[in-house]
Structure 1
């Protein structure tokens, strides 16, 4: 659904507020009946599949609501453009349905930490988003999943419409693996063995954008699987909270043996990436990988880029799986991340129409099209994304999947590596050792929480 970059999101600019202040024609939609000269504004970040679907849904909504015009506003997530757009639209009170990244429960640290929520969590805590829990269309979604993604104090402040796999996510070229008599690995050692076989055959195993931090998916994927060993999928939120509490109280640290082992495994995988990974942009990586049919069997990238890969090379026979981070196949489960969430600001000019738009979006026949367009994992329990061939592995492995673990709580403005090791600096992408990187993170974390 989005272009992932590690850059810090910037504050909104006043210029956007000026430009967008006239985007919506003021009109009341209370009282029912046909609307005249009403503009419903929907905003989401740039993603080809999602934007095309939204345009079609908007056309359907306009047909069903004579006199209503739906205006779609988009911006890329790169260089904080999306942050600037939605901030300015909220300031000008000109948006009715707004996409946000699901804050999850990590966004709401316990009161004893004195940490203030940020991003979408801050909008919820400050009363700027409408509680949707009792809206009829919410019955199509799993209430527990929605509450974990965008719930707060018995309210549910959005419709989490998309989930993706990013931690350890790997695309692969089926024909290229078959050429070297390889199958999808189920353990960490099997994956390393496959990479070694490919390397000896003169093939570079992994393509990745290390310029934009996508190699961090290896570390995250291994961490999720190792830390969730022995736990049921439903316990992932509690595992995250227990870890965050332990970090805050000083009983866990980034220098602990488990993080040293995760880092060692990360480095082993990094031996098989293309030499120029540090200069590869995440925006161009899927297309470059897809075009090169005789090299790079694996692409380290999220499941959100399926449409981009297919458009770059429609004839490419692709598959998708997650990196097996442990040596026990049963422990190598899928970790997914809540993503695009539709919210309705309390300042929405046409709140009733916004609810009707979400109801139309949530109809199973429409949501099924959304899944096909975006490659999302379904958040409606009655539906699965069966229209995309590469979803077969995910559909098979979703029964024991879990929401990916969140990082320990850190105050706003804390150094980047307080929340985890800086993988740009870890060898072989950077020049620092595991001990140096983890010690730096541990020190940054303790300083950020006031110790």
Structure 2
């Protein structure tokens, strides 16, 4: 789940420094508690609120147990520093990490070592949860793809969001100009042109943090998955990664050039000062300006923040159509917050009971409402949040967002794909230059 916090870097650093002594703890002393269960997750308003409520419910059901919530913002390295410290001190029982996905485990012929959650799993630091009864509430295939390894599953992927090419929109503004949700790329461009002629700035985006890259990424994903069933997404990702590694595909292939051409067309309609807009503040700024900026390029995780910034906003959401073939323009899902239990957890049985309570459909339904997450429990449809109408109508053919090709540690940023901070109009380099640079950087990084 993507983070949001309005603290400064100084405050974030202070929180991390104090974390080991209780910064972010959500529970009050339950009086005479003899056991402390520690839960850690990064700062996200809706998720933190839910976890605080669940912790209170857990304490009530478990007399003598206190649940301590550790948190830090997921920017400037604060969250990574906290969870590393908690693991090293063996002082966390339930830990939220980003889903490693199968992309985190490159095949042996690459000689690449896993990183992040994938490295922890391979090092035997996370507990296999596959036989836990609460796992039956979740889709087994999706959970294995998110946190599986060698037939075991090491986490509960609790949150997934629409990310690549995702767009928030102001329904009243589109209604004013007699527009519906576009179904093709050309329709989207035509809408932007109409809005521009009406004196509106069509698109707001946090280009300071490269959120504009979702336009390119979404178009690439939809093109590569065209005509393929949703269940093929892991296979398509693996096939592409293998081809990149062996040199039979490259960032200069036509599919990436075509996506770059579409990206350039969209970028003609962005806020002129987008290069200075940060993702931290973009949702609130966009929401407050109800009579302009019809579209916001941002992931679906920001619904709670947008609604809090402007509760009266008639909010909508869709995935930008990245092609001119309506059937190809599908919703893409990105695995996100995944609960894991370290093998060093001091209270492993209580951790399993906490996850059981979290996974209870009534509790999980509340999690969906507070976080805006797309459900990972097949028996539970997405919540009735008004802005989720488009998502709910497009779940049947949604697919897991494709992962990027494997890149060796220490490789230049360009090797993993285009650097949109350097591509026009944010930067000064053309799309062809950027793609050629990425292709060259990738070849050098893998030695071919």
TM-score, with length taken from structure 1: 0.94
Q: Which residue of 1 aligns with 2:302?
A: 305
Q: Which residue of 1 aligns with 2:34?
A: 37
Cα gap change, 1:281 to 1:17, in 2 (>3 Å) = closer
SS of corresponding position for 2:317: strand
Cα gap change, 1:63 to 1:4, in 2 (>3 Å) = closer
**2: distance between equivalents of 1:391 and 1:235?**
25
Q: Does 1:251 align with 2:248?
A: yes
Q: Does 1:2 align with 2:10?
A: no
What pairs with 1:45-444 in structure 2 (closer than 5 Å)?
Answer: 45-444=42-441
**2: distance between equivalents of 1:257 and 1:328?**
17
Q: Which residue of 2 aligns with 1:30?
A: none
Cα gap change, 1:190 to 1:267, in 2 (>3 Å) = same
Q: What displacement does 1:429 show?
A: 1.1
Contact kept, 8 Å, 1:21 with 1:94, in 2: the verdict is: no
**2: distance between equivalents of 1:238 and 1:220?**
18
Contact kept, 8 Å, 2:4 with 2:73, in 1: the verdict is: no
SS of corresponding position for 1:386: coil
Contact kept, 8 Å, 1:386 with 1:392, in 2: the verdict is: no
Q: What displacement does 1:18 show?
A: 8.9
Cα-to-partner distance string for 1:100-131 (whole Å, 9 max, x where unaligned): 00010000000000000000000000000000
SS of corresponding position for 1:211: helix
Q: Does 1:20 align with 2:20?
A: yes
Q: What displacement does 1:213 show?
A: 1.1
**2: distance between equivalents of 1:388 and 1:230?**
30
Any gaps of 5 or more consecutive residues in structure 1? 6-12, 24-34
Cα-to-partner distance string for 1:288-316 (whole Å, 9 max, x where unaligned): 11110110000111000000000000000
Q: What displacement does 1:83 show?
A: 0.5
Contact kept, 8 Å, 2:16 with 2:78, in 1: the verdict is: no
**2: distance between equivalents of 1:169 and 1:216?**
11
SS of corresponding position for 1:379: coil
Cα-to-partner distance string for 1:50-77 (whole Å, 9 max, x where unaligned): 0000000000000000010000011111
**2: distance between equivalents of 1:108 and 1:370?**
29
Contact kept, 8 Å, 2:19 with 2:71, in 1: the verdict is: no
SS of corresponding position for 1:170: strand
TM-score, with length taken from structure 2: 0.94
Any gaps of 5 or more consecutive residues in structure 2? 6-12, 24-31
Corresponding pairs, count: 432
Contact kept, 8 Å, 1:17 with 1:91, in 2: the verdict is: no
SS of corresponding position for 1:177: helix
**2: distance between equivalents of 1:273 and 1:16?**
36
Displaced runs of 4 or more, over 6 A: none
**2: distance between equivalents of 1:197 and 1:416?**
37
Contact kept, 8 Å, 1:21 with 1:89, in 2: the verdict is: no
**1: distance between equivalents of 2:233 and 2:115?**
22
Contact kept, 8 Å, 2:365 with 2:383, in 1: the verdict is: no
Q: What displacement does 1:3 show?
A: 3.5
